[in-house]
């Protein structure tokens, strides 16, 4: 009977109840990324939280469950600060998906993609925008224990100006516009404050805005500034008044710099970072989230179908492929704070760790890239006392890999063990 119930729970992706005490024997341990790795260690977990971390392989108390990872490198669950769980379609396929499938399917797809992400070792994600509320619902369902999935920090709908990157009516026939919810669009400071408050009313955790054009927006308006300084300032002030951080989609330096001057908490993509950007990052303490692995999604879709993107988008895709990594190479030696994010949804869910390889290629060490996906990301998300490290009292979000990611960061592409909140993910 016990075995049958376990199979049912596994099939439904519902977490099984954790035992009273779990002991993990680790071969090597990176308990606090940014510090030196330790040798053989023992982690004790109870009620979903870490009780202790000690050197050596300590004896297992009577009645406790032992998880033997003596041949593995153990580290905290990873954090992706920029995902879109409700889809991973792109180009023309994304447009078709958006008009043929409803919120119910989006919610199920978000849970499916969430499990891919969790099994890849990412136990916490920040979902930066979906149009239906599917991921807000998934966030709450995971928190209630109804389904398994990563811990989710959610932005609700992303905000931009009319004809901006988040305008869902772009490329649609005029007569279809009245059927599209445009409450996330704002023009002028007062309207932008109102757009923030609409998302706060929905219960979002963070506000996402676009101050520049985007690669995937279906308009040939480039990737430069699209929002006026007073609009960006109004959004940031309204969000901070409500206790919400602000994540900013920005490619061009003009839109990036006005967002940083307005007090943004993170810049997403930051593709054309310049000297003024670096100075503003250092002055404000904002995080840079590079999202380099978007290029993998573009390359794969174009390899399958050269017409995967309409001409106005394809031109921007080719530009993105040619410049990716240059901003990170400039930011790292300058001391800009980096947090890990993939923009999964543009790239494929479950392959989030591909980002590590690109981060190292463009100037980071494996150790600093891992820190970006753990302690730095936790700080950006306001969760540094809960996740991102393995310390007593913190959530038991633990992963293990076969190789040594400090010498070869690609070891993180193949995760052998995942525990989230004390529950082993099968």
Could you report the per-residue pLDDT of 138-180, keeping only the tens digit for each? 999 999 999 999 999 999 999 999 998 988 888 777 877 887 7
The C-alpha atoms of residue 31 and residue 381 are separated, in whole angstroms, by: 19
Q: How far apart are CA 155 and CA 381, in angstroms?
A: 12
H/E run at residue 244: none
DSSP-assigned letters across all residues of 276-334: HHHHHHHHHT-EEE--TTHHHHHHHHHHH-TTSS-HHHHHHHHHHHHHTTHHHHHHHHH
Tokens 């001409």 belong to: 311
This prediction's pTM: 0.93
Question: Residue range 294-323: average pLDDT?
Answer: 93
Neighbour-count burial of 3, counting CB atoms closer than 10 A to its CB (0-12 exposed, 13-18 middle, 19+ buried): exposed
Q: Residue 16 above 50 pLDDT?
A: no
Report the mean per-residue pLDDT for the chain: 92
Nearest alpha-carbon partner for 378 in 124, 23, 155, 198 = 124
How much is the pLDDT for 95?
67
CA distance 261 to 240: 14
Question: Please, are residues 208 and 232 in contact by the beta-carbon 8 Å criterion?
Answer: no
pLDDT tens track for 33-88: 999 999 999 999 999 999 999 999 999 999 999 999 999 999 999 999 999 999 88
Query: How many CB atoms within 10 Å of residue 285?
Result: 9
SS3 call for 370? helix
Region at 325 (left for phi over 0; alpha for psi -120 to 50; beta for the rest): left
> What domains does the chain contain, in order, with CATH numbers?
2-77+388-424 (2.30.40.10), 78-380 (3.20.20.140)
Q: Which residue has the tokens 């463009």?
A: 362
Encode pLDDT of 78-91 as tens digits: 999 999 999 887 66
Contacts with 186 (C-beta within 8 Å, 6 or more apart), sequence order = 159, 160, 161, 162, 192, 194, 195, 231, 235
């Amino acid at each position: 009977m016990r075995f049958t119930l376990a199979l049912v729970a596994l099939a439904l992706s519902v977490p099984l109840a954790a035992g009273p005490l779990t002991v993990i024997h680790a071969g090597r341990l990176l308990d606090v990324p940014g510090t030196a790795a330790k040798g053989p260690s023992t982690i004790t977990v109870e009620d979903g939280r870490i009780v202790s971390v000690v050197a050596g392989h300590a004896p297992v108390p009577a009645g406790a469950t032992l998880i033997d990872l003596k041949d593995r490198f153990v580290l905290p669950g990873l954090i992706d600060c920029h995902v879109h769980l409700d889809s991973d379609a792109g180009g023309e396929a994304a447009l078709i998906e958006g008009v043929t499938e409803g919120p119910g399917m989006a919610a199920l797809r978000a849970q499916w993609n969430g499990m891919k992400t969790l099994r890849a070792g990412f136990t916490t994600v920040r979902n930066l925008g979906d149009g239906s509320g599917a991921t807000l619902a998934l966030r709450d369902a995971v928190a209630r224990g109804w389904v398994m999935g990563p811990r989710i920090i959610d932005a609700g709908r992303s905000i931009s100006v009319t004809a901006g990157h988040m305008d869902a009516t772009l490329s649609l026939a005029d007569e279809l516009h009245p059927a599209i919810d445009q409450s996330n669009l704002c023009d002028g400071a007062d309207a932008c404050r109102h757009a923030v408050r609409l998302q706060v009313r929905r219960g979002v955790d963070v506000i996402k805005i676009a101050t520049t054009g985007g690669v995937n927006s279906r308009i040939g308006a480039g990737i430069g500034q699209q929002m006026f300084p007073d609009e960006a300032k109004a959004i940031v002030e309204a969000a901070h008044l409500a206790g919400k951080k602000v994540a900013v989609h920005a490619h061009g330096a003009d839109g990036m710099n006005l967002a940083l001057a307005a007090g943004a908490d993170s810049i997403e993509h930051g593709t054309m970072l310049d000297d003024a950007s670096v100075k503003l990052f250092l002055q404000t303490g904002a995080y840079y989230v590079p999202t380099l692995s978007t290029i993998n999604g573009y390359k794969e879709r174009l390899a399958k179908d050269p017409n995967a993107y309409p001409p106005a988008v394809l031109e921007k895709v080719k530009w993105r492929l040619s410049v990716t990594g240059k901003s990170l190479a400039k930011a790292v030696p300058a001391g800009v704070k980096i947090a890990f994010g993939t923009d999964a949804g543009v790239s494929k869910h479950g392959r989030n760790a591909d980002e590590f390889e690109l981060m190292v290629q463009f100037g980071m060490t494996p150790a600093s890239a891992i820190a970006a996906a753990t302690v730095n990301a936790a700080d950006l998300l306001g969760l540094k006392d809960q996740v991102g490290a393995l310390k007593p009292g913190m959530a038991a979000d633990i992963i293990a890999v076969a190789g040594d990611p400090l010498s070869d960061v690609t070891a993180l592409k193949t995760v052998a063990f995942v525990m989230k909140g004390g529950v082993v993910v099968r």
